[in-house]
A and B are shown apart, each in its own frame.
Chain A
């Protein structure tokens, strides 16, 4: 994991629409290590900072307290105003480029993604979950080690997103809420514009993108989940309705740049 990152930079001169498809297959090796981007994530629920165990009112009128929130983010790419993409470092030998975010581990909510080309960017893309190729590749290490507890043993594959807690409206035992979402095609790609001011990556600056993830968004809007009918989702077949909502929880809060030492 902490080997010096071998560079897998790639730039794509492809229109945005087909770039998403081509990105995984067409990779050209770069020469140096590239630059890291720091990502910082704050968890919220219904627009309030998430405190484990505290109960919040959801947009649906139901209530939820969260004991555990863990999910994978991977396949980061940055979009430049001229339409080019820069892709994070990736290797078949280890789990670089895959991050397990855990609300209870402060260090997991701030991490550096290695391997980007210097330049200015106006958008960030990532996958919630683990891409299908890696999901089929056998025993992995680091963030993807099955010992991380984000792996289904009876139906091979990663759990992409885990939300556990309680709700007075839940009909499950002890009013429990358990969402374990994963399965071959339940990863979701998120693209977020970075706002008016571009993100600058160069050797003298450390750039940070601060994301906010509001789990209350799962319970918002026309396809909102209702804890009274769906307190437990633990298999790939029934996870789709949750997967279809989890992209909505992320938004960019702000960027900042600081000189590097």
Chain B
């Protein structure tokens, strides 16, 4: 009697756990099987300038340039089109590659027209709508006006805006695309720049492990937690959450003679100050720093730990970072890794249009 009851219980237990296991593995494989479907589904939508939970209001005011499907798609097409350069060889996407979080993979300083070298590392592009200024020296103060800088730069695209507008007007397809986006096929500088801004402003990266931990959906490992604490103590004064930049300028001991912010303000105290870059997606955007001098994050952290002299005189917020201990580096690396957003890198809506 008793024995039989136990047998029943054992059988029931085996059955339930078995089904649970099968159900779990089925769910996982269904999710995997559905991934292309959800990808495809996602690819049908148009990214919007949404404000992720807990983020401040964007700096970019899109009220005069609301994101539409046709406007975004036009901006995306322009971003990938080498027609924008003098000899038709360089697109924005030549130096800003999606798999590198829209930085220039493997290039310390960017290469443009006829292989000419610039003097600065192409920064990754995401969460731009929250930046009040652009370029390492902050010389550009409006997202819509940023594309003018590479366009006109002789070592980047070497083209003029009137010439680009003329090429777009002559093109077989662009007039219709502008009409779809803006209501008539008139093409001018404002419409060209607004279309690009619709693409740039909606490059939002907010789906990293870190973001899910903050939303309470995942948790940090022990090393990640320790790294987060170290980060908050030593780095957050400049690399402020949730964008991992305070949108300001600082000197952190990287000096290659580039006057940085002082080129714009002409103030002595701004010599060598650079825009504080975000720390999101570092896993994709090597090399690092405005001159691309470091290939790995370990080298960057070694710079903070050992390479900074006279931290106080460089920036009052720097001493905690400059006293980074070796035992903290591994934890910090683990934490920085939680800021990578593979979804952003793979998001088909940001990919080259024909590759869709």
Contact = CB atoms under 8 A, between A and B. Distances in A.
Interface of A: 92-93, 136-141, 145-147, 149, 151, 153-157, 235-237
Interface stretch (B42-50, B108-116, B138-146): B138-146
B141 to A, nearest CB: 4
B36 interface: no
B162 A154 contact: no
Contact of B188 (A137, A141, A153, A155): A141
Contact of A139 (B135, B140, B193): B193
B145 A139 contact: yes
A107 B142 CA distance: 32
- Residue from B141, B149, B152, B190 with most neighbouring chain A CB atoms (10 Å): B190
A141 to B, nearest CB: 4
B245 to A, nearest CB: 19
A153 B148 contact: yes
B86 to A, nearest CB: 15
A155 B144 contact: no
B145 A138 contact: yes
B35 to A, nearest CB: 38
Contacts of A155: 139-140, 263-264
A43 B263 CA distance: 34
Given A139-B194, A156-B145, 9 more contacts: A138-B142, A138-B145, A138-B193, A140-B190, A147-B165, A147-B189, A153-B149, A153-B152, A153-B153
Nearest to A149: B162
Nearest to B139: A155
Interface of B: 64-65, 135, 139-145, 148-149, 151-153, 160-162, 165, 188-191, 193-194, 197, 263-264, 266
B265 to A, nearest CB: 8
22 contacts: A93-B64, A138-B143, A138-B144, A139-B142, A139-B190, A139-B193, A141-B188, A146-B161, A146-B189, A147-B188, A147-B189, A149-B162, A151-B145, A153-B140, A153-B145, A153-B153, A154-B135, A155-B140, A156-B140, A156-B141, A156-B142, A157-B141
A153 B190 contact: no
- Residue from A92, A93, A155, A236 with most neighbouring chain B CB atoms (10 Å): A155
A145 B189 contact: yes
Secondary structure at the A interface, as helix, strand, loop or mixed, is loop
Contacts of A153: 140, 145, 148-149, 151-153
The 3 A-B residue pairs whose C-beta atoms are closest, nearest first, are A139-B193, A237-B266, A147-B189
A137 B142 CA distance: 8
Contacts of B151: 153
A139 B189 contact: yes
B188 A138 contact: no
A99 to B, nearest CB: 17
Contacts, number: 68
A137 B194 CA distance: 12
A57 B65 CA distance: 50
Nearest to B150: A153
Contacts of B263: 155
Nearest to B164: A147
A145 B161 CA distance: 10
Contacts of B64: 92-93, 138
Contacts of B190: 139-141, 145
A235 to B, nearest CB: 8
B228 to A, nearest CB: 36
Contact of A145 (B65, B152, B188, B197): B188
- Residue from B135, B144, B160 with most neighbouring chain A CB atoms (10 Å): B144
Given A136-B141, A138-B142, A139-B197, A154 B189 contact: no
Contacts of B162: 147, 149
Nearest to B135: A154
A157 B160 CA distance: 16
A137 B63 CA distance: 12
Contacts of A136: 141-142
A146 B139 contact: no
A153 B190 CA distance: 14
A159 to B, nearest CB: 13
A130 to B, nearest CB: 13
Given A145-B188, A145-B189, A147-B162, A154 B139 contact: yes
B189 to A, nearest CB: 4
Contacts of B194: 139
B139 A141 contact: no
B32 to A, nearest CB: 44
Contacts of B160: 149
Contacts of B144: 138-139
Nearest to B194: A139
- Residue from A139, A236, A237 with most neighbouring chain B CB atoms (10 Å): A139
A146 B188 CA distance: 9
A147 B166 CA distance: 10
A139 B191 CA distance: 8
